[in-house]
Chains A and B, each alone.
Chain A
Amino acid sequence: MASAPSKLYADDVSLLVVLLDTNPFFWSASSLPFSKFISHVISFLNSILLLNQLNQIVVIATGHNCCDYVYDSSSLANRSSGTGKLPAPSADLLEKLEEFVIRDEKLLKREPEGPIVSSLLSGSLSMALCYIQRVFRSGPLHPHPRILCLHGSQDGPEQYVAIMNAIFSAQRSMVPIDSCFIGAQNSAFLQQASYITGGVYLKPQLLDGTFQYLSTVFATDLHSRGFLQLPKSVGVDFRASCFCHKKTIDMGYICSVCLSIFCKHHKKCSTCGSVFGQPQSDAASEPSKKRKTGDA
């Protein structure tokens, strides 16, 4: 449940997994051009690598249809053995990023319906957690891992359960999820992620100064965070949406069997088919989507 025994190199070595949002639908409408944003990010990554020789960085690109690793500072290609050169993210990262975006575009089957076009945050969170778990199992000496989401697209409601599962996994392994949200409105998913895992959620007001926000808030390792005054949360939206109309409600009715949320009183639960107010044996004749114990 908890992370592997922490006999670390030192307290301030960190492994930073960056989830970079490359959703073309978001970036085409954003006020900050993607190229400028990438230059901020690359400078930030370089500064992290300069802070400590043992720091590691992994970048995962979050696309609209798929996610993939685009940079790993600890891979053999990046560390020229013996010469002591620092890994340099820029050229390699940009090349892989471009390949990734082309791949992502090829996978687009048809125009997305609806105004909300989200990127695959659940997928990249899962991959990040897989990588971190591998690091935990690599032995007693490993850096402190954390996840940083550079995200701007809106939340896709269909990813809710996968993202919540990822958040609970991160919470159990004590991996904080930080987020720097560059979109227009606050993202409820990322706010919850940062709140539950103990990370920092930031929505910069001036996007031209993104590098400054990144380096002052997100560059420090986990041990040193205790000595800093980091931005406090501005309130987290924990409200749920009802299943019948999908509107956000703050008071609702919960089915005691499957925990589905409804905004008004119903006679029957649409998810599990249980009839309310009657003993279950009456509902057994319903075409049941659930199976009770004792059924073959």
Chain B
Amino acid sequence: MNNGEGRRLSGQAEEEDDEDDVDDGGLEAWERAYADERSWESLQEDESGLLRPIDNKALYHAQYRRRLRSLASSNAAARIQKGLIRYLYVVIDLSRAASETDFRPSRMAVVAKHVEAFIREFFDQNPLSQIGLVTIKDGVANCLTDLGGSPESHIKALMGKLECSGDSSLQNALDLVCGYLEQIPSYGHREVLVLNSALSTCDPGDIMETIQNCKKSKVRCSVIGLSAEIFICKHICQETGGLYSVAIDESHFKELILEHAPPPPAIAEFAVANLIKMGFPQRAAENVISICLCHKEARGGGYTCPRCKARVCELPTECRICGLTLVSSPHLARSYHHLFPIAPFDEVTPLRFSSSQHRLPKSCFGCRQSLLNPDVMFCMYAASYQEIGPAYLLNAQNANSISALTVIFMFTKVCITAPVARVSDISRLSAPVKNSYGCNLNFWSSQSQRAVFSYV
């Protein structure tokens, strides 16, 4: 011990000379961004002298396309069942390690910021699901908010309690969460997302037992680490079927956490299919005044529970008087794009169009952008539309690399979702469909589904 101290003392003088010399003469990753890569030099000015932000679009779209392609190859036009009604607990580690400053300003602040964005995105993609928050502090896990469907209450509670101290304890957190998740209805999918900053865990008992418990209760645990890869986290995720990832920097962390927002593929035995009774309230006009349940004051323009006629202000919610779950049809419609995803488009370079089989139209079908422009290098071709008519060329404006921008990702989903996804079912349609010209989008063809989505 003495020798070690002596060595450290003599080495200290050298250490003080080298700035930030932490790991064997190299710099930490965040320091390298300033020292080696000189991020200030990649700023650009636009015409009026104002700073233009660094253009990372090409990089992001390359990653995005890669991800889409890998997803598509694994899905291979199969409809993987997704767990749409999710009960997710987010476990936030507020131990000593969360006050480290390798994420600016501190790990805790970065986590809180991104958890807020995650909560909003989660409710946007899964309107029927619920989130609860749990914190680990001083080796003890505390429930910050109960399972609920309103994003504001969670975010407010989180932002109010951002102090860190003590050790982290994975076992306590998992025990607490499993206990709460026992009480939810059987059709819901049970999930936990642990945001782990610490490198150690201080447990009162055998964590392997807790893991087996989780597995038995069908809880899917995922972990996002902020420091380094830890075996026990990897083990938890492997046993329960979750995802383990470690964040390299802030933007990577954001990407990783937002990956958990869309519903994961469901492990079929985990949730029992059930018929859930729900109500679809009508929205009253602004001048019809009534006392609402949530604020207990007279207001106009809320929703009326169809069973007990009580007024609520926002949906989805549970009627406090009669216990009926109240949703509106757009909430259900939001989840349909998880159920029926479209196939990704094929990117085609203009060189391919010099062949005789493809006539190059002069302008894009969707947005009328001229395709004769030399800046435009890539177009996208709805590959599976061959049966119907000529290719619908959708323009990718100003694409300058192999990863052509998915110009109209969401919008193209709308344009093409029905015909492309249901090419095989065209023959069963009764509405005029085989139209080689126009954007005939009015079908949702599979027999059972045509009945499904009728709306009078």
Residues from chain B with a CB closer than 8 A to the CB of A295 are 78
- Separation of A119 and B197 alpha carbons in the complex (Å): 55
Residues from chain B with a CB closer than 8 A to the CB of A134 are 367-369, 395, 397, 407
Determine whether the beta carbon of A280 is less than 8 Å from that of B273. Answer: yes
Determine whether the beta carbon of A155 is less than 8 Å from that of B418. Answer: no
Residues from chain A with a CB closer than 8 A to the CB of B333 are 160-161, 164-165, 168
The residues in B between 294 and 325 inclusive whose CB is less than 8 angstroms from any CB of A are 301, 303, 306-307, 315, 324
- Separation of A127 and B78 alpha carbons in the complex (Å): 28
- Separation of A55 and B43 alpha carbons in the complex (Å): 33
Q: Give the distance to chain A from B58, nearest Cβ to Cβ, in Å.
A: 14
The residues in A between 254 and 288 inclusive whose CB is less than 8 angstroms from any CB of B are 254-262, 265-266, 269-272, 274-281, 283-284
Q: Give the distance to chain A from B121, nearest Cβ to Cβ, in Å.
A: 9
The residues in A between 127 and 154 inclusive whose CB is less than 8 angstroms from any CB of B are 127, 129-131, 133-134, 137-138, 140
Q: Give the distance to chain A from B393, nearest Cβ to Cβ, in Å.
A: 12
- Separation of A291 and B335 alpha carbons in the complex (Å): 18
**Known contacts being A120-B438, A169-B410, is A259 close to B336, with CB within 8 Å?**
yes
Q: What is the size, in residues, of chain A's interface with B at 8 Å between Cβ atoms? A: 101
Residues from chain A with a CB closer than 8 A to the CB of B280 are 238-240, 249-252
Q: Is the interface of B mostly helix, strand, loop or mixed?
A: loop
Determine whether the beta carbon of A271 is less than 8 Å from that of B407. Answer: no
Q: Give the distance to chain A from B303, nearest Cβ to Cβ, in Å.
A: 8
Residues from chain B with a CB closer than 8 A to the CB of A277 are 272-274
User: Could you say which of B306, B407, B410 has the most chain A C-beta atoms within 10 Å of its C-beta?
Assistant: B410
- Separation of A103 and B330 alpha carbons in the complex (Å): 34
Task: Mark each residue of chain A from 198 to 209: 1 if its CB lies under 8 Å from any CB of chain B, else 0.
Answer: 000000000000
Residues from chain A with a CB closer than 8 A to the CB of B66 are none
Residues from chain B with a CB closer than 8 A to the CB of A52 are none
Contact of A94 with B by CB under 8 A: no
Residues from chain A with a CB closer than 8 A to the CB of B440 are 65-66, 120, 123
Contact of B378 with A by CB under 8 A: no
Q: Give the distance to chain A from B414, nearest Cβ to Cβ, in Å.
A: 4
Determine whether the beta carbon of A196 is less than 8 Å from that of B368. Answer: no
Determine whether the beta carbon of A108 is less than 8 Å from that of B432. Answer: yes
Task: Mark each residue of chain B from 419 to 456: 1 if its CB lies under 8 Å from any CB of chain A, else 0.
Answer: 00000000000111001011111111000111111111
Contact of B266 with A by CB under 8 A: yes
- Separation of A291 and B81 alpha carbons in the complex (Å): 6
Determine whether the beta carbon of B455 is less than 8 Å from that of A160. Answer: yes
Contact of A22 with B by CB under 8 A: no
Chain B residue at minimal CB-CB distance from A191: B283
Contact of A20 with B by CB under 8 A: no
Task: Mark each residue of chain A from 62 to 91: 1 if its CB lies under 8 Å from any CB of chain B, else 0.
Answer: 010111110010000000000000000000
Contact of B282 with A by CB under 8 A: yes
Q: Give the distance to chain B from A26, nearest Cβ to Cβ, in Å.
A: 15
**Known contacts being A65-B438, A235-B284, is A188 close to B455, with CB within 8 Å?**
yes
Residues from chain A with a CB closer than 8 A to the CB of B268 are 280-281, 284, 292-293
Contact of B104 with A by CB under 8 A: no
Residues from chain A with a CB closer than 8 A to the CB of B281 are 238, 250
- Separation of A112 and B407 alpha carbons in the complex (Å): 35
**Known contacts being A110-B432, A123-B442, A293-B80, is A238 close to B437, with CB within 8 Å?**
no
Determine whether the beta carbon of B430 is less than 8 Å from that of A238. Answer: no
- Separation of A134 and B411 alpha carbons in the complex (Å): 11
Contact of B348 with A by CB under 8 A: no
Contact of A72 among B366, B368, B407 (CB under 8 A): B368
Determine whether the beta carbon of B273 is less than 8 Å from that of A120. Answer: no
Contact of A157 among B274, B288, B339, B455 (CB under 8 A): B455
- Separation of A195 and B418 alpha carbons in the complex (Å): 24
Determine whether the beta carbon of A65 is less than 8 Å from that of B282. Answer: no
Determine whether the beta carbon of B266 is less than 8 Å from that of A238. Answer: no
- Separation of A155 and B266 alpha carbons in the complex (Å): 34
Determine whether the beta carbon of B81 is less than 8 Å from that of A290. Answer: yes
Chain A residue at minimal CB-CB distance from B278: A254
Contact of A256 among B85, B410, B414, B418 (CB under 8 A): B85
Determine whether the beta carbon of B418 is less than 8 Å from that of A127. Answer: no
Contact of B398 with A by CB under 8 A: yes
Residues from chain A with a CB closer than 8 A to the CB of B276 are 253-254, 256
Determine whether the beta carbon of A240 is less than 8 Å from that of B435. Answer: no
Contact of B417 with A by CB under 8 A: yes
Q: Give the distance to chain B from A277, nearest Cβ to Cβ, in Å.
A: 6
Determine whether the beta carbon of B283 is less than 8 Å from that of A67. Answer: no
Contact of B334 with A by CB under 8 A: yes
Determine whether the beta carbon of A251 is less than 8 Å from that of B271. Answer: no
**Known contacts being A65-B440, A160-B453, A164-B336, is A290 close to B79, with CB within 8 Å?**
yes
Determine whether the beta carbon of A250 is less than 8 Å from that of B339. Answer: no
The residues in B between 313 and 363 inclusive whose CB is less than 8 angstroms from any CB of A are 315, 324, 328-330, 332-337, 339-340
Contact of A162 among B187, B408, B418 (CB under 8 A): B418
Residues from chain A with a CB closer than 8 A to the CB of B340 are 161
Determine whether the beta carbon of A248 is less than 8 Å from that of B456. Answer: yes
Determine whether the beta carbon of A238 is less than 8 Å from that of B282. Answer: yes
Contact of B230 with A by CB under 8 A: no
Determine whether the beta carbon of A280 is less than 8 Å from that of B269. Answer: yes
Residues from chain B with a CB closer than 8 A to the CB of A241 are 454-456
**Known contacts being A67-B439, A271-B448, is A126 close to B366, with CB within 8 Å?**
yes
Contact of A68 among B332, B395, B398, B438 (CB under 8 A): B438
Determine whether the beta carbon of A196 is less than 8 Å from that of B448. Answer: no
Contact of B242 with A by CB under 8 A: no
Q: Give the distance to chain B from A214, nearest Cβ to Cβ, in Å.
A: 23
Determine whether the beta carbon of A279 is less than 8 Å from that of B269. Answer: yes
**Known contacts being A233-B285, A238-B282, A239-B282, is A254 close to B275, with CB within 8 Å?**
yes
- A interface residues (Cβ-Cβ under 8 A, vs B): 63, 65-69, 72, 103-104, 107-110, 112-113, 118, 120, 122-123, 125-127, 129-131, 133-134, 137-138, 140, 155-162, 164-169, 172, 188-189, 192, 195-196, 232-241, 243-244, 246-262, 265-266, 269-272, 274-281, 283-284, 289-293, 295
Can you give 20 contacting A-B residue pairs, CB < 8 Å?
A66-B439, A68-B438, A126-B414, A130-B412, A134-B397, A140-B46, A160-B454, A161-B333, A192-B329, A232-B286, A235-B282, A240-B455, A246-B456, A253-B277, A254-B275, A255-B274, A265-B275, A277-B274, A292-B81, A293-B266
- B interface residues (Cβ-Cβ under 8 A, vs A): 46, 78-81, 84-85, 128, 187-188, 265-288, 301, 303, 306-307, 315, 324, 328-330, 332-337, 339-340, 364, 366-369, 394-395, 397-398, 407-408, 410-415, 417-418, 430-432, 435, 437-444, 448-456
Known: A66-B438, A161-B333, A290-B79; 10 extra A-B contacts, CB below 8 A, are A158-B443, A162-B442, A238-B282, A256-B85, A256-B274, A259-B336, A269-B273, A278-B272, A280-B272, A290-B80
Closest 4 CB pairs of A and B: A66-B438, A130-B366, A256-B187, A274-B273
